Amino acid sequence: MTSGIRHFTDLSALSGSDLRGILDDAAVRKARLKAGERSKPLEGKVLAMIFDKPSTRTRISFDVGMRQLGGETIMLTGTEMQLGRSESIADTAKVLSRYVDAIMIRTTAHDRLIELTENATIPVINGLTDDTHPCQLMADILTFEEHRGPVRGKTFAWTGDGNNVLHSLLEASARFSFNVNIAVPEGSEPEEKYIDWSRANGGKVMITRSAEDAVRDVDAIVTDCWVSMGQEHRARGHNVFLPYQVNVELMKHAKPDALFMHCLPAHRGEEVTDEVIDGPNSVVFDEAENRLHAQKAVLAWCLGA
C-alpha cells in the first residue's frame, strides 16, 4: 500500500496480521455493543456508498455500522450519478475524495474498483465485485470462530458455482491458514488465479467434481446462489447444479457438528434445502449479523479510528 491510504479491496491486498487485527477488533466492538457501550470514533466522517448492483445486507450493515460509529453515509447508485452518463471512474474518485472520507462500492467489473482505488485520495472498500466479496469473508471467519474456535487448520467445503464469494474464501484460506475443498460442475470453476494465489501463499486447496468427496469430514460447508448478480446470461440448467445442493444427505458426509454457511440471499430448494438452512448447524443469520460487526472494524481500520 504505497500511498499509505488504507484501502480494503481484497484479502490478498492486506497482510494476515492486519486482517487478524481487524477481526479481533470486530469481536471487541461486538462485545462492547452488546454490553450497551457506545463510542463514536467516526464522528464527523462521511462514507459514500455506490451500488451498481442490488443489496440488502451490505447496504444496511454499512449504513448502521457507520451510524453506530458516529459517522454518516450517503447512498448512491451508479445510474443516478454522472457515472451512468459516462463520467469516468477516475474523475468520480477525485471528486468524491474532495467531499467524503471513504467510499464503499459494489460494482460489476473488478477493474472499476481498482480504478476507483487508484484515483481516490481516501480509503475505498470493496462491497462486492464480479470477482470478489472480501467483507463477506471477514464476517464469515468471525462467525466460524465464534462457534468453533480458531479457524487455523480447519477445512471448509464449497459446493456449487465457483464465484466471487469462493474467490474471497480462497484468499481467506491463505491469510487465515485453513483448507478449502471445492466441488463445482464443469464450466463453473473458480478463476485459476485465485487457486494459484492461495496455494502460493500457503493455502491448501482441493478441487473435485464430487460434492460428497469435497464435504467429507469438513468443519464447514459453504455454498451460494447458482447464478450471481449480473451473470444471468451464463445461467445453466439447474440439473447441472443439483448434485451440488446442500441437503441433509450431503451434510451427513461432513463432521456431525459441521457448520452450514451461506452469505445470503439464499435460493431455498436450489443450492440449499429448508431443512439445512433452518437446521441446527446453520449459522447464516449470525453471518448476516456479523457483516455489521466486521465492517465496523474495517471502517475503523480504514479511517484510523
Stretch that binds ligand NVA, among 88-96, 159-167, 189-197, 233-241 (CB under 6 A): 159-167
302 catalytic? Reply is no
- Binding-site partner at residue 225 among ligand CP, ligand NVA, none, CB < 5 to 8 Å by type: ligand NVA
- Say if residue 263 carries a ligand binding annotation: yes
Residue 57 contacts ligand CP per CB under 6 A: yes
Residue 55 contacts ligand CP per CB under 6 A: yes
Residue 188 contacts ligand CP per CB under 6 A: no
Among 182, 263, 283, 305, binds ligand CP (CB under 6 A): 263
Kindly state the cell numbers that stand for 214. Answer: 469435497
Measured distance CA(44)–CA(26) in Å, rounded: 21
Residue 125: closest CA among 8, 296, 291, 4: 8
67 catalytic? Reply is no
Residue 229 contacts ligand NVA per CB under 6 A: yes
Single-letter amino acid code for the residue at 116? L
The answer to whether the CB of 222 falls within 8 A of the CB of 281 is no
6 catalytic? Reply is no
Residue 73 contacts ligand CP per CB under 6 A: no
Measured distance CA(284)–CA(133) in Å, rounded: 16
- Binding-site partner at residue 56 among ligand CP, ligand NVA, none, CB < 5 to 8 Å by type: ligand CP
The answer to whether the CB of 90 falls within 8 A of the CB of 35 is no
Kindly state the cell numbers that stand for 10. Answer: 481484497
Residue 224 contacts ligand NVA per CB under 6 A: yes
Q: Of the two residues 119 and 143, which places its CB atom closer to ligand NVA in the complex?
A: 143
Among 107, 173, 181, 228, binds ligand NVA (CB under 6 A): 228
Let me know if 38 is exposed, middle or buried by CB neighbors in 10 A (0-12, 13-18, 19+): exposed
231 catalytic? Reply is no
The answer to whether the CB of 259 falls within 8 A of the CB of 272 is no
Contacts of 31 (CB under 8 A, 6+ apart): none
Least separation, in Å, of the C-beta of 202 and ligand NVA? 25
**Which candidate in 7, 29, 262, 291 is catalytic?**
291
**Which candidate in 52, 101, 112, 136 is catalytic?**
136
Residue 159 contacts ligand NVA per CB under 6 A: no
Among 164, 173, 198, 223, binds ligand NVA (CB under 6 A): 164
Kindly state the cell numbers that stand for 132. Answer: 470478489
Number of residues near ligand CP (by CB under 6 A)? 8
Among 113, 157, 165, 246, binds ligand NVA (CB under 6 A): 165
Q: Of the two residues 255 and 262, which places its CB atom closer to ligand NVA in the complex?
A: 262
Q: Which residue has the cell 474467490?
A: 167
Residue 277 contacts ligand NVA per CB under 6 A: no
For 19, 197, 201, the CA distances from 15, given in Å and listed in that order, are 6, 14, 11
Measured distance CA(20)–CA(35) in Å, rounded: 23
Residue 135: closest CA among 113, 156, 158: 113
Residue 264 contacts ligand CP per CB under 6 A: yes
Least separation, in Å, of the C-beta of 183 and ligand NVA? 16
Coil, strand, or helix at residue 272? strand
Beta bridge partners of 246: 272
Q: Where are the beta strands (DSSP E) in 111-242?
A: 124-126, 155-159, 179-183, 204-208, 220-223
Q: Which residues are catalytic?
A: 106, 133, 136, 224, 263, 291
Residues that bind ligand CP in the complex, under the rule CB under 6 A: 55-58, 128, 136, 263-264
Residues that bind ligand NVA in the complex, under the rule CB under 6 A: 128, 163-165, 224-225, 228-229, 263
